[in-house]
Amino acid sequence: MSQSDPHATALDLPPHMRPERSFQGLILALQRFWADYGCVVLQPYDMEVGAGTFHPATTLRALGHKPWRAAYVQPSRRPGDGRYGENPNRLQHYYQFQVLLKPSPPDLQDLYLKSLAAIGVDAALHDVRFVEDDWESPTLGAWGLGWECWCDGMEVSQFTYFQQVCGIECSPVAGELTYGLERLAMYVQGVDNVYDLNFNGRDGDERISYGDVFLQAEQEYSRHNFEHANTDVLFQHFKDAEAECQALLAAGARQRDEAGDGIHKVVFPAYDQCIKASHVFNLLDARGVISVTERQSYILRVRELSKACGEAFLQTEAGGAVAKESQHA
Amino acid sequence: MPDLLLELFSEEIPARMQKRASEDLQKLVTNGLVDAGLTYEGAKGFATPRRLALTIHGLTARSADTREERKGPKVGAPEKALAGFMRAAGLSSIDEAQIQSDPKKGEFYVAVIEKPGRDAAEIIAELIPGIIRNFPWPKSMRWGAGSTRPDTLRWVRPLRSILCTFGPETEEPEIVAFEVDGIKSGDVTYGHRFMAPEAIRIRRFDDYTDKLNAAKVVLDSARREEIILQEAKNLAFSQNLDLVEDSALLHEVAGLVEWPVVLMGSFDERFLNLPDEVIQLTIRVNQKCFVLRDPKSGALTNRFILVSNLIASDGGKQIVAGNEKVVRARLSDAMFFWETDLKTPLQARVQKLGNIIFHEKLGTQLQRVERIKSLATTLAPLLGANPAEAERAAELCKADLVTEMVGEFPELQGLMGRYYATAQNESSSVAAACEDHYRPQGPGDTVPSDPVSVAVALADKLDTLSGFWLIDEKPTGSKDPYALRRAALGVIRLILENNCELSLTDVIGQACSGHQRDALAAADISGVTPDLLAFFHDRLKVYLRDQGLRYDLIDSVISEDADDLQLIVRRVEALSSFLDSEDGKALLSGSKRAANILRAEEKKDGKVFDSSVSADLLSDPAEKALAEAVDVAVSKAKAAVDGHDFTAAIEALSQLRAPVDAFFEDVMVNDENAQIRENRLNLLNRIRQATQTVADFSKIEG
């Protein structure tokens, strides 16, 4: 695969587009790097998720044998991490840059290091390390082995070889890279407070900071997450999403049987409901209304949904299934 | 003799697995070679973050030829027996077997199995792929396009290349050719990921270490640890500071770098307002850095040591700056936790413990605190503690569980309680108890001596023990998930090392009734106390034996209902010194003789001789003297034991030695007169009764 020299590209950019000056410049540089590698560059999924992994382009596409390469930014919501805009590092809404390559290429570590170079992290100056980190998502029934990637002692990415997703063995194994964009940007911009990040790379009156974009939202969402979210409604939402997910999977299975082609018909919409249940659970958790014992059972309920979605996905074309000749002509 | 060099080059191996893996590799390969008939002079395994390596020197070049004779059935044996023999010996026809004869057995078949020796290289090539495929990693994974195959290789992280050379020192070694999951062995490795990533051609171990060293890889982890420690100390010394050594951290850090470069960073002095433990833990756990002390005051300073994996082109300026930034952020978090925590008194946090389940059947931490409070208050007067202080300490002792700091660093539980209690002006005893009530955590941990700490520590452990006994979650075999053995040992050490006299039966009963008031209203406590007491007896025996006391003596003084540990120990000690004396030894043997005679006669007659001694039937002066002496000894010993004066009790018993000896010298127990015989046997029983006041002499050996 031929790739243009990413470093030369960065230097050719006008100053306001450069990753070390501009938050959006950093995102664009990563997108350009992975687009150049051959990934489909997707847009964020239009639902609230706790991490880029929840995007169906990762969770579902990691399953089955069909090759897949995708990269995208995913806004991630962790209601419990809200700090009313007062903590310089913690946010209840932040951006992850997610790359999924199936099967994992043999030079994935090198590719990752090249992508760091593309955003201005010079491996001759910075101490980049791969430190053990076994990744697990109990709600997704997923686990993998890999590392936290450290740059001068700071964790800037998560690097995982998926072994299992939705309770199903990955075959082949996909490699997942997750970049913490705010942290990386703070690092390359030399900023200590996330709200001080230069968002658009401009100076003076034209400068827009991360705080200009997100500070008010962080304050408001912290109030929402910890104080105002209506827990009765949320408990109902959880039940509804759970029931809807199961109903949609049943409907898709029914149509599969009617068609007799072995192809499940309603997986992505069902998975949306699984995502929704997961986020509602996170909100309830932040509100402190789920006890320790109940917590485990909620996690298990979401896992059941994700497992059912994963199994159904394998019965679709994207999941690698081939339609059988219809038996009911 | 030729040498073998093997290197398995992979993506980064977790630091904590490297040492074990290099040992396993060495063991598996050397065992395999020896099993195949080779010998070797020496072997050594190595690990870095990216490679496992093994050198074996003085390996035999070829295994020896072997010849084995296998005896078979008689000539003319049934077809089935012959077939079985041929299969086992690998013969295709019975004509291939020799016929030998034996004067007894007659003629029988013998298969001669000759195996020529094999070249070591061939053995190695056959052995190693299997070792790689079945390597005992604690966790392994699949990767890449090949991961769809069911027989795909599993390794700790993707395995990238294999180097394997074999040959004598004086000649050019050869590649031992084999293939594992598409990876062909060769003579190539790679240097440091960033400083020397090029391929390197290797001949044997000597040039392997040299070339790796030139390519910025220190192969030996012990050497990497040495470099880090030495450079860290030098750097500290140059700034007039002391390194706070941490061998576990050193070991981990040495597993994260192939070429250690030690650097020093600093942080804002305002963070020194945090407790030292918090600073050290923050920097250690999150950043894997070492902290530095002022050699004069012993206090932490605002400097730290970091270990990087790179000789950076700017001398490490950016690396230090980056690490400082992260340390600053982490310490800011800790500072935020500390300041937030200080705003809310511990007292105000106690109610929040109601949200934490301790155990689903034993209620919340809040209920637990209430029980500990009540028990500690009851125990306090027995331990010389102020009951109000014990109650206060018990009230606050778990409150730090719901602080921000302990939420972030659970290992600081207790310690933070102490800091926060001190900050809100609790008495020093109350503050100390917040930390020390968790003690002792194991056989090596110190036992608190402040009576308030002792009261809360005992209450905490007794509440746990009685609770788990009530719900029948006792330790079994090697399983003890709630560390109940440790808790019982803690109770024992708290009582003994503080010379507490208290009845375990009573305090167990009190602890159980606490649980009955809470979650376990319906629980049946009747069986719990004796069972838990027996558990304490077992732990006590183990503990005292570890202290060097005789197991049989401990056994002889512990009765089923013995519930004052202090008394048990004092009894053992008094008994032990008595039995070391002449009087003691003689009395032990006399009482054993009495017991033996009694046992034999009781068996013969089928009855027990435990009636009182009739003075009228005593005729011999020796038996009259013994009867009198026994009466005196029993009443004196009983009185002394009641007064817990075991030395006096033993002294009373020792008076029996002379009359017992004289009795056996002069008196014939089995008199012709049945009445006299029975009276004398009753007298022997009195000796048993006398010694019983102190111990069960029948359980004492010797």
Segment A51-77, tens digit of pLDDT: 999 999 999 999 999 999 999 999 999
Q: In terms of Cα–Cα distance, which of A11, A8, A272, A129 is closest to B309?
A: A129
pLDDT at position A329: 44
Cβ-defined contact of A187 to B322 (cutoff 8 Å)? yes
CB A286 within 8 A of CB A83: no
B453: closest CA of chain A, how far (Å): 30
Q: Kindly calculate the radius of gyration of chain B based on its CA atoms and give it in whole angstroms.
A: 38
Chain A positions touching B48 (Cβ under 8 A) are none
pLDDT at position A178: 97
pLDDT at position B477: 82
B284: closest CA of chain A, how far (Å): 12
Nearest chain A alpha carbon to B260 = A127
B687: tokens are 């000796």
Cβ-defined contact of B158 to A145 (cutoff 8 Å)? no
Average pLDDT, chain A: 92
Helix (H) or strand (E) holding B266: strand B261-266
pLDDT at position A326: 63
Cβ-defined contact of A145 to B141 (cutoff 8 Å)? yes
Q: What share of chain A is helix, strand, coil (3-state, %, to 5)?
A: 45, 20, 35
Q: Residue B581: how many CB atoms within 10 A of its CB?
A: 13
3-state secondary structure labels for all residues of A298-329: HHHHHHHHHHHHHHHHCCCCCCCCCCCCCCCC
Chain B positions touching A123 (Cβ under 8 A) are 194
CB-based contact, A288 to chain B, within 8 Å: yes
**pLDDT tens readout for residues B603-620:** 888 888 888 888 888 888
CB-based contact, A297 to chain B, within 8 Å: no
Cβ-defined contact of B312 to A127 (cutoff 8 Å)? yes
CB-based contact, A156 to chain B, within 8 Å: no
B12: closest CA of chain A, how far (Å): 6
Chain B positions touching A89 (Cβ under 8 A) are 329, 333
Chain B positions touching A88 (Cβ under 8 A) are 329, 332
Q: How far apart are alpha carbons A257 and A250 in whole angstroms? A: 11
Q: How far apart are alpha carbons A169 and A142 in whole angstroms? A: 9
Chain A positions touching B156 (Cβ under 8 A) are 145
Confidence at A293, pLDDT banded by 50, 70, 90: low
B331: closest CA of chain A, how far (Å): 12
Give helix A23-37 / helix A108-118 axis angle, nearest 10°: 140
Q: How far apart are alpha carbons B610 and B607 in whole angstroms? A: 9
Widest CA span in chain A: 70
pLDDT at position B521: 65
pLDDT at position B480: 87
CB pairs under 8 A between A and B: 120
Higher-confidence residue: A296 or B382? B382
Burial of B238 (0-12, 13-18, 19+ CB in 10 A): exposed
Nearest chain B alpha carbon to A87 = B333
Interface probe with B: pick from A143, A148, A173, most Cβ of B within 10 Å: A173
For A85, B229, B510, B533, B568, the CA distances from B507, given in Å and listed in that order, are 52, 51, 5, 11, 17
The pLDDT of residue A2 is above 50 = no
pLDDT at position A328: 54
A46: closest CA of chain B, how far (Å): 30
Which residues touch A24 (CB under 8 Å, ≥6 apart)?
Answer: A199, A200, A201
pLDDT at position A299: 93
With a CB-CB cutoff of 8 Å, which residues 124-143 of chain A face chain B?
A: 124-132, 134
pLDDT at position A10: 54
Q: In terms of Cα–Cα distance, which of B413, B419, B470, B420 is closest to B437?
A: B413
For A14, A34, A46, B288, the CA distances from A42, given in Å and listed in that order, are 25, 11, 11, 37
Cβ-defined contact of A124 to B194 (cutoff 8 Å)? yes
**Under DSSP, is residue A260 helix (H, G, I), strand (E, B) or coil?**
coil
Cβ-defined contact of A123 to B309 (cutoff 8 Å)? no
Q: How far apart are alpha carbons B109 and B105 in whole angstroms? A: 11
pLDDT at position B617: 87
CB B62 within 8 A of CB B119: yes
Predicted ipTM of the assembly = 0.93
A172 upstream amide cis, omega within 30 of 0: yes
Cβ-defined contact of A293 to B357 (cutoff 8 Å)? yes
For B122, B202, B691, B698, the CA distances from B552, given in Å and listed in that order, are 61, 65, 15, 10
pLDDT at position B672: 87
Give percent of chain A above pLDDT 90. Answer: 81
Q: How far apart are alpha carbons B15 and B307 in whole angstroms? A: 14
Question: Who among B314, B329, B360 is closest to A293 (CB)?
Answer: B360
Cβ-defined contact of B157 to A153 (cutoff 8 Å)? no
Domains of chain B: 3-62+119-214 (no CATH), 66-115 (no CATH), 221-342 (no CATH), 347-548 (1.10.3210), 575-699 (1.10.730.10)
Q: Is B472 left (phi over 0), alpha (psi -120 to 50) or beta?
A: left
pLDDT at position B101: 84
B50: closest CA of chain A, how far (Å): 10
Question: Who among B146, B157, B323 is closest to A152 (CB)?
Answer: B323
**pLDDT tens readout for residues A243-287:** 999 999 999 999 999 999 999 999 999 999 999 999 999 988 888
**Under DSSP, is residue A155 helix (H, G, I), strand (E, B) or coil?**
strand
Cβ-defined contact of A127 to B14 (cutoff 8 Å)? no
Block residue for tokens 């006391």: B549
Cβ-defined contact of A173 to B141 (cutoff 8 Å)? yes
B257: closest CA of chain A, how far (Å): 8
Instruction: Give me the mean pLDDT over the A113-139 stretch.
Output: 94
pLDDT at position B519: 66
Length of chain A: 329
pLDDT at position B522: 64
Q: Name the stretches of chain B with pLDDT < 70.
A: 519-523
Question: Who among A89, A103, A129 is closest to B144 (CB)?
Answer: A103
B621: tokens are 């002066």
Nearest chain A alpha carbon to B261 = A127
The pLDDT of residue A9 is above 60 = no
Cβ-defined contact of A152 to B318 (cutoff 8 Å)? yes
pTM for the full model? 0.79
Cβ-defined contact of B139 to A145 (cutoff 8 Å)? yes
Chain B positions touching A293 (Cβ under 8 A) are 357, 360
Question: Who among A123, A144, A292 is closest to B194 (CB)?
Answer: A123
A79 upstream amide cis, omega within 30 of 0: no
